[in-house]
Structure 1
Amino acid sequence: MKAPEKDPSLMEVLGPGLVTGAADDDPSGIGTYSQVGAQFGYGMAWTMFFGFPLLAAIQAICARIGATTGRGIARNLRRHYPLPLLQGAVLLLLLANIINLGADLGAMGAALALLLPGPTLAYTAAFGLLSVLLEVFLSYNSYARILKWTTLSLFAYVGVVFVAHVPLADAARGTLVPHFRFDRDHAMALVAVFGTTISPYLFFWQAGQEVEEQHRRHIKPLHVTPSNRAQRELRRIRTDTLIGMGFSHLVALFIIIATAATLHANGVRDIASAAQAAEALRPIAGDLTFALFALGIIGTGLLAVPILAGSAAYALSEAFGWVEGLDRKPREARAFYGAIAAATLGGVALNFLSIDPMRALYLAAVVNGLLAPPLMVLTMLIASNRKVMGKLAVRGWLAAAGWLSTIVMSVVAAVFLLS
């Protein structure tokens, strides 16, 4: 008689969802949340509370597509939809990712220069090189473990709130009661927050990582898996995604609250980067707060930079039919790893140009915010298509939540364009 399978531990359950959620709080995201906290105080903290179910739903659907079909988002688009749609989506994704990479690497270099005085550009290039080397030459199992443990760096921002003096009533009101004015500043902030939170690169990455997990664990796509095992996998995906996206939004909320309680409360309304936010905290909240914030930028960057480059490589590989996967040896997937290196190099190169970092940051968020709605529509069409997903096509509450997320992102984009 076959022994029943043991329930996996929480650390075994947590994987693509946790890493994807943590990567959402990358240095450019930290810069966006810091600017929102500095500019509006607690007034837009509600975007984190109400945005969580939207991100969790669409990411769970992306993960389900990857796990069910054994293919990523771009490969499914290539198989089932007109080629120009795929080409347009991948082109915009690459543009947004390279800008994001530039902002993230620049923030990491600047943060290290604050802690260890030295040449910022050299630090930036070194972080880019380190990221590429780890992604190319480490085995997938080792790399996945590193990414999982790197998520602990986000607790630095929880620590910032505890060492800052936060008026709890004001913070709770800003978090739970939506407040919005239809002017350009609020519209730009709204599309930047949602654009950096519900980002297309996260769709491609989590779907691709579910495929990688199947290779690592030597299991088949769920559409050819017995029903009881498929349902167990879907429960794992749901738990992983809810915890990962909840963690992401909680940390983002802490960043907004921390900068509202320190920068906004002391009249600092405009910052140019995540590193500047850290530096501005030093005279207001002390060296410990400053150090925690700066270390968090470096830690989250080490997590997010490989994911930004990796999601671009997944999208390109799936679009052109290249051999892909972090579980592949470099000689087996030269184009895939070449795309990772090229995207990272592009991000490093942006830092050697005279580009305002906050402008690049907001541009990336806006491109993400405008790209997300059409890509989310295509994702929902794939997820609900029985020819693609078989008996595991998305239905019921998850489908409703996915379409609601798509509608909200479309409205956010429209508000920005009309403002």
Structure 2
Amino acid sequence: MTLALLAYAATAFAVHLSWSDVLRGVLLPSMPDSSAWILVAAIFGTTISPYLFFWQASQEAEDARAKAKSLSTSEVSAGEERRISLDSWFGMFFSNLIAIFIIITTAATLHIAGITQIDTAAQAAEALRPLAGDFAFALFASGIIGTGLLAVPVLAGSAAYAVSETFGWRAGLGLAPRNAKAFYSVIASAGILGILVHFSPISPMQALLWSAVINGFVAAPL
């Protein structure tokens, strides 16, 4: 499913772009006005996400404890630290590369056409069709679906780890649901709330934006 994110890069190459202008904009960006700085905070909030703070850290600790039963502590530490370091560096590089392509694609299609208000993913995909054709629309749609399938369990799982650790509940995907009822209840509740947002007057895009802004501001103290 992670490969679906390459659809964003493919969309950028499917539309007409002046790559010299793109390179100039990436290397020498213009300073945004005051209202745009909130988007800068949101970008940091999506890069340094709760997934890294809670789920990844907790999952690594669970895996290390499981492997410690058959390996010495020094063997676990040396091998696991190398793997975690490689995993984190590669994951952050890939996610930021995709983020750049998302920004480029949005600028080259929606923004240049004056479309600056998007409330749903479907609306964004439809807006691309007359601008970039059916091929770009299909690529963007596959990217959105792949991102959703990845993001929903990640965000719900991160929330479950965060809440469980706050209240001292048993937590871990290696546990059976009957042994971690509160943990799995948070995952289920987060999924249900996400579905209910779709039927409410709340804009999913605005909800994502402001949750990212909050993440950006609380990252340092966390």
Task: Tell me the SS of whatever aligns to 1:374.
Answer: coil
In the aligned structure 1, how far is the partner of 2:62 from the partner of 2:12?
A: 36
Q: 2:216 aligns with which of 336, 349, 369?
A: 369
Is the CA contact 1:166–1:257 (under 8 Å) kept in the aligned structure 2? no
Q: 1:220 aligns with which of 68, 72, 75?
A: 68
Q: 1:235 to 1:264 in 2, by over 3 A?
A: same
Deviations 1:251-304 (A, max 9, x none): 111111112222233333332333322111100111111011112111111111
User: Does 2:56 align with 1:206?
Assistant: yes
Structure 1 partner of 2:150 = 303
Structure 1 partner of 2:37 = 187
Instruction: Quote how far apart the aligned CAs of 1:229 are.
Output: 4.7
* Structure 1: tracts of 5 or more residues without a match: 1-149, 376-419
In the aligned structure 2, how far is the partner of 1:232 from the partner of 1:358?
A: 40
In the aligned structure 1, how far is the partner of 2:21 from the partner of 2:115?
A: 18
Instruction: Quote how far apart the aligned CAs of 1:323 are.
Output: 1.8
Amino acid of the structure 1 residue aligned with 2:34:
R
Residues 329-348 of structure 1 correspond to what in structure 2 (within 5 A)?
329-348=176-195
In the aligned structure 2, how far is the partner of 1:266 from the partner of 1:316?
A: 42
Structure 2 partner of 1:350 = 197
Deviations 1:311-338 (A, max 9, x none): 1111122222222111111111111111
State TM-score, norm by structure 1: 0.49
Amino acid of the structure 2 residue aligned with 1:179:
S
Instruction: Quote how far apart the aligned CAs of 1:247 are.
Output: 0.7
Is the CA contact 1:205–1:314 (under 8 Å) kept in the aligned structure 2? yes
Structure 2 partner of 1:161 = 12
Deviations 1:64-118 (A, max 9, x none): xxxxxxxxxxxxxxxxxxxxxxxxxxxxxxxxxxxxxxxxxxxxxxxxxxxxxxx
Q: 1:270 to 1:349 in 2, by over 3 A?
A: closer
Is the CA contact 1:195–1:365 (under 8 Å) kept in the aligned structure 2? yes
* Structure 2: tracts of 5 or more residues without a match: none
Segments of 4+ in structure 1 off by > 6 A?
A: none
Residues 233-382 of structure 1 correspond to what in structure 2 (within 5 A)?
233-375=80-222
Is the CA contact 1:200–1:368 (under 8 Å) kept in the aligned structure 2? yes
Deviations 1:369-410 (A, max 9, x none): 2222211xxxxxxxxxxxxxxxxxxxxxxxxxxxxxxxxxxx
Structure 2 partner of 1:152 = 3
Q: 1:273 to 1:184 in 2, by over 3 A?
A: farther
Percent of aligned positions with the same letter in both sequences? 55
Task: Tell me the SS of whatever aligns to 1:331.
Answer: helix
Is the CA contact 2:50–2:158 (under 8 Å) kept in the aligned structure 1? no
In the aligned structure 2, how far is the partner of 1:354 from the partner of 1:277?
A: 18
User: Does 2:56 align with 1:231?
Assistant: no
Q: 1:242 to 1:174 in 2, by over 3 A?
A: same
Amino acid of the structure 2 residue aligned with 1:219:
K
Is the CA contact 1:180–1:186 (under 8 Å) kept in the aligned structure 2? no
In the aligned structure 2, how far is the partner of 1:352 from the partner of 1:267?
A: 28
In the aligned structure 2, how far is the partner of 1:339 from the partner of 1:271?
A: 29
Deviations 1:105-151 (A, max 9, x none): xxxxxxxxxxxxxxxxxxxxxxxxxxxxxxxxxxxxxxxxxxxxx21
State TM-score, norm by structure 2: 0.90
Q: 1:196 aligns with which of 46, 51, 59?
A: 46
Is the CA contact 1:200–1:371 (under 8 Å) kept in the aligned structure 2? no
Amino acid of the structure 1 residue aligned with 2:146:
G
Residues 31-70 of structure 1 correspond to what in structure 2 (within 5 A)?
none
Q: 1:175 aligns with which of 19, 26, 36?
A: 26
Amino acid of the structure 1 residue aligned with 2:144:
I
Amino acid of the structure 1 residue aligned with 2:8:
Y
Q: 1:357 to 1:317 in 2, by over 3 A?
A: closer
Instruction: Quote how far apart the aligned CAs of 1:363 are.
Output: 1.9
| Paired positions, count | 220
Is the CA contact 2:45–2:212 (under 8 Å) kept in the aligned structure 1? yes
Task: Tell me the SS of whatever aligns to 1:307.
Answer: helix
